[in-house]
Amino acid sequence: MKIVDNFQLPRYLGTWYEIARLDHSFERGLDNVTANYSPRDDGGVKVINRGYNAKKQQWQESIGKAYFIGSPQQASLKVSFFGPFYGGYNVIDLDDEYQHALIAGPNREYLWILSRTPTIDNQTRDRLVSVAKHYGFPVEELIWVKQGELPPL
């Protein structure tokens, strides 16, 4: 899997909408999922993941931290939401305008499609799915996240 190089963290910071993901327990049942990235004083990245659980009729939020594994020009980070336990966060595709990203976890069981907007066009979706398929991800198992009007936080 190729990691994005010439990565520019300041351009990546801010809010991203989750368009699709592979299923995993910590996001199960969530729609309207966003990820917000901001700088930390220690050089890391603050991560706030938020999503709405319609079944429970409530917002769920996880706050974590991420650090580059090597050079900050290589988009390979380790992220933690649970104390000293870190997982991989690898940007494997990113458009030149920093509007759409494909994120892989530590293995092919973790994959996210992110966008700066709540929806993406079919051409962008198809391109990102094709990249993920090329890298061996089970793209037929992607969950397409609903983004829409919801109660305030």
Apex 56 CA angle, 50 and 62, nearest 5: 25
Residue 16 near residue 35, CB atoms below 8 Å: yes
pTM: 0.94
Mean pLDDT over all residues of the chain? Answer: 95
Radius of gyration, CA atoms only, the chain: 15
Query: What CATH class has 9-144?
Result: mainly beta
Question: pLDDT tens digit string along 42-55?
Answer: 999 999 999 999 99
Predicted pLDDT of residue 153? 59
pLDDT score at 4 = 98
| Rounded CA separation 1/24 (Å) | 21
Please write the tens of the pLDDT for every residue from 59-105: 999 999 999 999 999 999 999 998 788 999 999 999 999 999 999 99
Whole-number pLDDT of residue 152: 62
* Secondary structure (DSSP) of the chain: -PPP-S--HHHH-EEEEEEEE---GGGTTEEEEEEEEEE-TTSSEEEEEEEEETTTTEEEEEEEEEEESS-TTS-EEEEEEETTEEEEEEEEEE-TTS-EEEEE-SSTT-EEEEESSS---HHHHHHHHHHHHHTT--GGGPEEPP-------
Q: What is the dihedral of CA 132, 39, 7, 117, to 10 degrees?
A: 50
pLDDT digits (tens, 9 = 90+) for 134-149: 999 999 999 999 998 7
